[in-house]
Structure 1
């Protein structure tokens, strides 16, 4: 999603996308990179929004790059927001009747203790948990010194604090944080880096890519794929314990750009998307791509000069290639087709909730770190309709066509409703760069030398 020009800093919007509510918060123009782990105000602001929108399934912090927090991380924050609402509205944690029975002289002290706890709850919940534990310990010590007439009052207050502590301890966030609390110093936010690990998505694409490697993964293989030397991607094959399928981890060049280059791409994309393609442009896709590539290079060169940014020849070609890929092209599908070892690529419905799967000639069926978006998949379907000149709708829910990008060729099969109840689904068969020969049949044990 892109916020309109002039949108207020920290403005937010909830959009319904493929069966899930996605919360977008605008951080364009913020003097820092938004992060729950680094900045308490970012976490607090997000909790405030979740209190008003409790049905959110995913959170995206929008800046030059989009920082996507998945359902599991969002549910951690929703639990925290729900606890805050419960304490304020149902338990009425700061009310006089909850804090004292007859020890009126202790009201201000207890009020300040719990106010301090609540103040930390939204911005630094781990410190808040430690603070509450400390308050309970102090109140138990105070119980031994208090006058007998106020003893029952003090016991009731401790019971109330322990009830809150018990609720707090059941939060997923605290359960995950517990192993790291030994030696914890109040205010240290390093612990949140172990809990919140957003997917970082360039602002010019909607497809999500899980960039971090699983912590318990074993690297089986790693190699580079490219169409040109300025468009290299790194493929890592991973084995995760107790998982049957290997993981095909892709790291494309667009996900390792500097902030300056990302800003240039966003500016150039904003200019190019104003172009409304005509159907005849797709009758010769290769020529159209070359024209757009040259236009992109000229545009990026001009923008770089206006922004006082120096671009090398390689960087210029890299940015132009990425720009073409994410405007008139087919996004990360193009990069996957660069891999000579891939045979099949499958995009199953529902699209935003399912990783891309593929068949590898050496490692068989693999899951990937790519989560395509509905926006990208719908855009590809429209392009395939224009390329093939065939319909794709409820009356004609199947489309077979071909895709050629440079030397890479593939057969594309697309189905949609009613054959696919959850929406669009793709099956892509990559053609070999060279034909099968008898020696190749023997090498892959399809026949023996005596056949």
Structure 2
């Protein structure tokens, strides 16, 4: 297994090249599992594992902690010296557990656990010295079982990975957490596709889960290869005009370029694809080269008022506010996403965004939103963004009263103070409604 260790946003990342591997790049495959655990044992401190294939898998957090625990168990069991003779009735069981520890460590642990329970039960010993042997082995096994007891609750299926096609940099969780309770689902219709949204309650968190899988994340392997080849052609392309430099015309330019190359590549590899699918792939190509990627899907959902991208992006899922409620999403941005996003905002605004100018505010009239970005030294952990959708209806004091956000007495008092030209300070946390209240007082 070919791999390298790189720094990514201050994190130690093991990047494994799975393209030449004949296995499935999955932990359910014992060969992949064995080699991956060997890498963990060898490298020590790792913050993230990235399995690079046509569909990239990223393992971190609790899932990576499970792998570290399993790796420690393998190291311990492999170096363990048990005292038993050739006549020992459990000789075969012990050796079997040790032998399979690298290929299937969870099964190995369960076998040892069963052996441990057998030692606890009274049984007839063949020889007198067997009692001493049993007591010594029982103590050693007892320590292992105690130190690694939580392994018995592990499952390879619980080691979850964020997945993304290699064409994209944004990762998503493809399945909701085990403790998620389904609330409802709905669809967002777009010109060339539709997106299914599911909402869940989470037992371990106060906020709810906004679960989205964009249609381009379910494309076939052949279509993914076509997009990759189209992107390679784009990197070698020398434009004959400068229309692609105009932010307003760039989207159409990249759409036409993508469509032309997708048709050409599909014909070369003799892959049958209909015109509707070509349009979808061309739109996807433009979306992730000159557009805002998965953010476009979120901005297409009219229930969303705010989108927050907090630093460091690799460890923080994207957060939203929809219908006045806070949600955590199944979306994880990468550092590449943030750099590309920042570049597009610079292009749209025509302003700098760096340590010398660490704040940028840009309007997105196409989506009826505005975006504010901040970077170091204001945010020591990296670039962060806040996107706010403009309200379709202006807030007024009567509307605040009808929504039970202000009492009639409070609204009357504020109106009286404004009429009296009093100085008013409006303060509050992010998303508290400062701008909405200010606009209502100005009407």
TM bin, normalised by shorter chain, reads 0.7 to 0.9
Q: Where in structure 2 are there 5+ consecutive unaligned residues?
A: 409-442
CA deviation after TM superposition for structure 1 residue 142, in Å: 10
Equivalent positions of 1:296-315 (< 5 A) are: 296-315=258-277
After superposition, give the CA deviation of every residue in 1:225-281 in whole Å (9 maximum; x if it has no partner).
Answer: 2441x2321222222236332222122111121222222222222322445899966
| Paired position in structure 1 for 2:169 | 206
User: Which residue among 346, 355, 359 is the counterpart of 2:321?
Assistant: 359
Aligned-partner SS, 1:352: coil
After superposition, give the CA deviation of every residue in 1:49-87 in whole Å (9 maximum; x if it has no partner).
Answer: 101112112222221101222311111011111222234
After superposition, give the CA deviation of every residue in 1:299-335 in whole Å (9 maximum; x if it has no partner).
Answer: 1111112222211222111111111111222211122
CA deviation after TM superposition for structure 1 residue 141, in Å: 7.9
Asked if residue 18 in structure 1 is aligned to residue 5 in structure 2, the reply is no
Question: TM-score if structure 1 supplies the norm length?
Answer: 0.80
CA–CA distance in structure 2, aligned partners of residues 443 and 320 of structure 1: 48
Change (3 A) 1:211 1:239: same
After superposition, give the CA deviation of every residue in 1:192-213 in whole Å (9 maximum; x if it has no partner).
Answer: 32x2232221111222212212
Question: TM-score if structure 2 supplies the norm length?
Answer: 0.81
CA–CA distance in structure 2, aligned partners of residues 242 and 129 of structure 1: 28
After superposition, give the CA deviation of every residue in 1:356-384 in whole Å (9 maximum; x if it has no partner).
Answer: 12222x24322222111111111111221
Question: In 1, are the aligned partners of 2:74 and 2:105 still within 8 Å (CA)?
Answer: no
| Paired position in structure 1 for 2:83 | 99
| Paired position in structure 2 for 1:74 | 64
CA–CA distance in structure 2, aligned partners of residues 278 and 443 of structure 1: 59
| Paired position in structure 2 for 1:181 | none
CA–CA distance in structure 2, aligned partners of residues 275 and 336 of structure 1: 31
Aligned-partner SS, 1:392: coil
CA–CA distance in structure 2, aligned partners of residues 155 and 396 of structure 1: 70
Asked if residue 350 in structure 1 is aligned to residue 340 in structure 2, the reply is no
| Paired position in structure 1 for 2:187 | 224
Q: Where in structure 1 are there 5+ consecutive unaligned residues?
A: 1-9, 178-190
Question: In 2, are the aligned partners of 1:273 and 1:327 still within 8 Å (CA)?
Answer: no
Question: In 1, are the aligned partners of 2:319 and 2:329 still within 8 Å (CA)?
Answer: yes
Change (3 A) 1:140 1:238: closer
| Paired position in structure 2 for 1:257 | 219
CA–CA distance in structure 2, aligned partners of residues 222 and 383 of structure 1: 32
CA–CA distance in structure 1, aligned partners of residues 394 and 133 of structure 2: 86
| Paired position in structure 1 for 2:233 | 271
| Paired position in structure 1 for 2:44 | 54
Aligned-partner SS, 1:353: coil
Aligned-partner SS, 1:345: strand
CA–CA distance in structure 2, aligned partners of residues 299 and 421 of structure 1: 42
Question: In 1, are the aligned partners of 2:308 and 2:319 still within 8 Å (CA)?
Answer: yes
| Paired position in structure 1 for 2:387 | 428
Change (3 A) 1:93 1:382: same
| Paired position in structure 2 for 1:186 | none
Equivalent positions of 1:367-378 (< 5 A) are: 367-378=328-339
The count of aligned residue pairs is 406
Aligned-partner SS, 1:351: coil
CA–CA distance in structure 2, aligned partners of residues 442 and 163 of structure 1: 63
User: Which residue among 311, 324, 341 is the counterpart of 1:380?
Assistant: 341
| Paired position in structure 1 for 2:371 | 412
Aligned-partner SS, 1:211: coil
After superposition, give the CA deviation of every residue in 1:87-138 in whole Å (9 maximum; x if it has no partner).
Answer: 44xxx325xxx535xx5x559984x654432232232122112322344466
| Paired position in structure 1 for 2:33 | 43
Change (3 A) 1:367 1:109: closer
Aligned-partner SS, 1:290: helix
| Paired position in structure 1 for 2:126 | 146
Change (3 A) 1:342 1:162: closer
Equivalent positions of 1:104-183 (< 5 A) are: 105=86, 110=91, 113-136=93-116, 144-169=124-149, 171=150, 173-174=151-152, 176-177=153-154
- 340-349 vs 140-149, which deviates more? 140-149
Question: In 1, are the aligned partners of 2:24 and 2:32 still within 8 Å (CA)?
Answer: no
CA–CA distance in structure 1, aligned partners of residues 267 and 254 of structure 2: 20
Change (3 A) 1:429 1:163: closer
| Paired position in structure 1 for 2:18 | 27
Question: In 2, are the aligned partners of 1:343 and 1:359 still within 8 Å (CA)?
Answer: yes
After superposition, give the CA deviation of every residue in 1:174-205 in whole Å (9 maximum; x if it has no partner).
Answer: 2x24xxxxxxxxxxxxx532x22322211112
Asked if residue 339 in structure 1 is aligned to residue 301 in structure 2, the reply is yes
Change (3 A) 1:242 1:64: closer
| Paired position in structure 2 for 1:3 | none
Question: In 1, are the aligned partners of 2:244 and 2:253 still within 8 Å (CA)?
Answer: no
